[in-house]
Amino acid sequence: MATSTKEMNTKLTFRKFEDGVNKWQKIGDKIFEGDHSHKCPTYVHRTPPCQGSCPSGEDIRGYLDIIRGIEKPPEGVTMQEYAFRRSTDANPFPSMMGRVCPAPCQDGCNRNHVEDFVGINAVEQYIGDTAKKEGFSFDNSAPLSGKKVAIVGGGPAGLAAAYQLRRMGHESVVFDDHDELGGMFKYGIPGYRTPREFLNHEIQRILDMGGIEVKLSTRVGTDIKVEDLEKEFDAIIWAIGCKSGRMLPVPNADAPNCVSGVAFLEAFNKGTLKVTARKVVCVGGGDTSIDVVSVARRLGKVDDLPEEQSPEHVIGGYVAHDSALTAARDGAEVVLTSLFPRDQMTASEHEVEDALREGVEIHDGVMPLEVIVDESGRAVALKVAKCEVVDGRPTPVEGTEYEIEADLIVSAIGQTGDLTGLEEFDNGRGLMDADSFYRVPGKEGHFVAGDIVRPHLLTTAIGQASVCAETVNAYLKHDTLKKRPKVDVHHFDLLQKLKEAGLAPEPYCHEETRGTSESDFAIHNFEDRSEQEIITADKLFLGHFEYTPRHVRKQVVPDAEEVLGHFEDRLVPLTEEETVAEAERCMSCGMCFECDNCVIYCPQDAVYRVKKDKHTVGRYVATDYARCIGCHICSDVCPTGYIDMAMGDH
């Protein structure tokens, strides 16, 4: 019967069945139909949370799968070199990051829902240290475009930008006001955490690509005018970091022996600060403060040090200590204070534990009130009090005040940029503004990355530099910028992998396309959601994974009696055998790791392994849809969450 005009004008949809007609009327029918459905398996790639948590966007699952042998390297390439290339696609400093990155990837690791995270940092150190040993180099085959970019700042962000631009075929000139490249790697972190042997090698490997010129001891804004750079270069990237420390917001914080944490560490890393004061108090609670107190314990103090050689004069750059001083030094008393309780300090937990072992005294949950000075104006103590957070602000608890004696007070409570000569770029907070593509608003041809945007982690600066380089590349080519992916990291690309393995799809023939499962012009039954979705633990079959202890790197951490003069590398790398075993703990979230569960448990023998000559990572199994009844067992037993019952969804 035809639908009435009244119904067509008042009802927005036509319904063939009433509500409930789609449901089984008899429970017996429902039970016997419950083992199958109209849906069949589809293989869906998603981003693992380790990678989603990595600010530089490394393909962590990718290089773990390479090391464990699931993803095979091209012919003539070793596992180690292939893992190195996959790792450094995002971050050119695997040795450094494997040592000093606080590893948000490990916090995000889904293995934490089983027993313990995968030791990603340890694996990355193995990749980086092996790359140095084997002499691996970066690909510089991209032809030069004739464009040249000025990069102001030779730290992690600036060097990463130069690296990525060279891979795209653009030359650059790196300007830095230090005597050596390295930025925060070299001047903000002590050498026993970023061993110079490995740091210098990783920097040189970037320069060896060619097309990267370096101009040291040159400050843009004073030695060179910005207008001159604008005339000479096709684009400018600002990667100047934040090397001005914030002083304590309390009375008398301008006393001569009150210094910033970044200035303290720079003087040490330059080699001018050989000894410290008798009693050092550092205010902080983050990683920089841990470095300050650990260095202070290693440097020690010298009795009867001439006033003109006191640490603040060396840190201020007026004098330098003679190396002979170190022969007479002994242990300094070092105290670290933190606003927050120890379990809430922003420094890594193991770093705090190491500092305690090395003889640092920690006063947590206290806030500074005043620097106590003597008649000459020098600091002699720091007055503090227990504190509590009221309306989001730390507030001293009345009656809990006390003083900590000090000959040197170090403030490690934050950093800001030094924009002397670059005032036009100052956003009023000692930083530079950036849009989502890391362009400087209102400054055509100017781009920015790293701490000068917002002080954060080294890995964050490197990740920003990668995005910034892509933006500059588009700018130089006059391309339209596309919206960045929701999950903005370096993703595994199955099509690229198939091309690498000689399995690229055939050209599309534009013929009849019904029933294309036997055709070779497309990747069938695969969906890539990696740019939109991060796979969570509830999507995995965690019951597949047995308890497997983490392979923990050995650390050389001196105790309070051994720490004086101890500047050796603290982290002992895993062996190849240990590295492979640790990589095997990876659950390969969001990507098949060839466990055979789906093949074994399929009751219809519908899931099968693809032929060896068609196999590559992500293409290990396929489904015969003529046999599949949609029982979803394969999806239920897939440990990695790679199988969705989605074929047939509308």
Q: What confidence tens digit (pLDDT) does each residue in 416-428 have?
A: 999 999 999 999 9
Give which of 275, 397, 389, 280 is closest to 333, Cα–Cα: 280
The predicted structure's pLDDT at residue 648: 59
The predicted structure's pLDDT at residue 1: 45
Angle between helices 287-299 and 349-357 (to 10 degrees): 20
Yes or no: say if 611 and 620 are a contact pair by the CB < 8 Å rule.
no
Give which of 431, 511, 84 is closest to 246, Cα–Cα: 431
The predicted structure's pLDDT at residue 389: 84
Is it the case that residue 160 has pLDDT exceeding 80?
Answer: yes
Per-residue pLDDT tens over the stretch 249-258: 999 999 999 9
Confidence label for 28 from pLDDT (cuts 50, 70 and 90): low
Q: How far is CA 257 from CA 246, 274, 310, 359, in A?
A: 15, 16, 9, 22
What is the percentage of the chain residues whose pLDDT exceeds 90? 82
Determine the average pLDDT of the residues in 357-364: 97
DSSP label at 468? Answer: H
Confidence label for 34 from pLDDT (cuts 50, 70 and 90): low
Q: How far is CA 415 from CA 102, 276, 420, in A?
A: 18, 22, 15
Domain ranges of the chain: 148-243+417-477, 245-414
- What number of other Cβ atoms are within 10 A of residue 286's Cβ? 17
Rounded Cα gap, residues 299 and 278, in angstroms: 11
Confidence label for 26 from pLDDT (cuts 50, 70 and 90): low
CA angle (146 as vertex; 140, 149 as ends), nearest 5: 80
Q: Which residue has the higher pLDDT, 91 or 614?
A: 91
Give which of 463, 443, 426, 467 is closest to 235, Cα–Cα: 443
Q: Do strands 279-284 and 571-572 pair parallel, antiparallel, or not at all (unpaired)?
A: unpaired
**Strand ranges, E, within 258-378:** 258-260, 279-284, 333-338, 361-364, 366-373
The predicted structure's pLDDT at residue 325: 84
The predicted structure's pLDDT at residue 4: 59
Residue 297 three-state SS = helix
Q: How does the average pLDDT of the chain come out, rounded?
A: 92
Is it the case that residue 33 has pLDDT exceeding 70?
Answer: no
Determine the average pLDDT of the residues in 581-592: 97
Per-residue pLDDT tens over the stretch 554-570: 999 999 999 999 999 99
Is it the case that residue 650 has pLDDT exceeding 50?
Answer: no
Rounded Cα gap, residues 329 and 563, in angstroms: 12
Rounded Cα gap, residues 265 and 253, in angstroms: 19
Rounded Cα gap, residues 111 and 109, in angstroms: 5
**Strand ranges, E, within 339-407:** 361-364, 366-373, 379-390, 393-396, 402-405
Amino acid in position 465? A
Determine the average pLDDT of the residues in 111-116: 95
Confidence label for 190 from pLDDT (cuts 50, 70 and 90): very high
Per-residue pLDDT tens over the stretch 317-337: 889 998 888 888 999 999 999
Give which of 155, 84, 224 is closest to 461, Cα–Cα: 155
Q: What are phi and psi of 634, to 5 degrees?
A: -60, -40
Which residues have a Cβ under 8 Å from the Cβ of 11 and sit 6 or more positions away?
none
Amino acid in position 418? D
Determine the average pLDDT of the residues in 404-422: 96
Rounded Cα gap, residues 54 and 184, in angstroms: 19
Is it the case that residue 374 has pLDDT exceeding 90?
Answer: yes
Instruction: Enter the tokens of residue 400.
Output: 């809990």
Rounded Cα gap, residues 267 and 261, in angstroms: 10
Yes or no: say if 118 and 106 are a contact pair by the CB < 8 Å rule.
yes
What is the percentage of the chain residues whose pLDDT exceeds 70? 92
Rounded Cα gap, residues 442 and 427, in angstroms: 12
The predicted structure's pLDDT at residue 30: 57
The predicted structure's pLDDT at residue 83: 98
Yes or no: say if 97 and 458 are a contact pair by the CB < 8 Å rule.
yes
Rg (CA), the chain: 30
The predicted structure's pLDDT at residue 327: 84
Q: How far is CA 350 from the centre of its chain?
A: 18
Instruction: Enter the tokens of residue 336.
Output: 């670290």
- What number of other Cβ atoms are within 10 A of residue 57's Cβ? 22
- Rounded (10°) CA dihedral 255, 256, 258, 262: 140
In this structure, of 49-63, 175-189, 306-320, the range with the lowest mean pLDDT score is: 306-320
Question: Would the CATH topology of 148-243+417-477 be identical to that of 245-414?
Answer: yes
Determine the average pLDDT of the residues in 214-238: 97
Is it the case that residue 524 has pLDDT exceeding 90?
Answer: no
CATH architecture classification, 148-243+417-477: 3-Layer(bba) Sandwich (3.50)
Which residues have a Cβ under 8 Å from the Cβ of 34 and sit 6 or more positions away?
none
Question: Which class is domain 245-414?
Answer: alpha beta
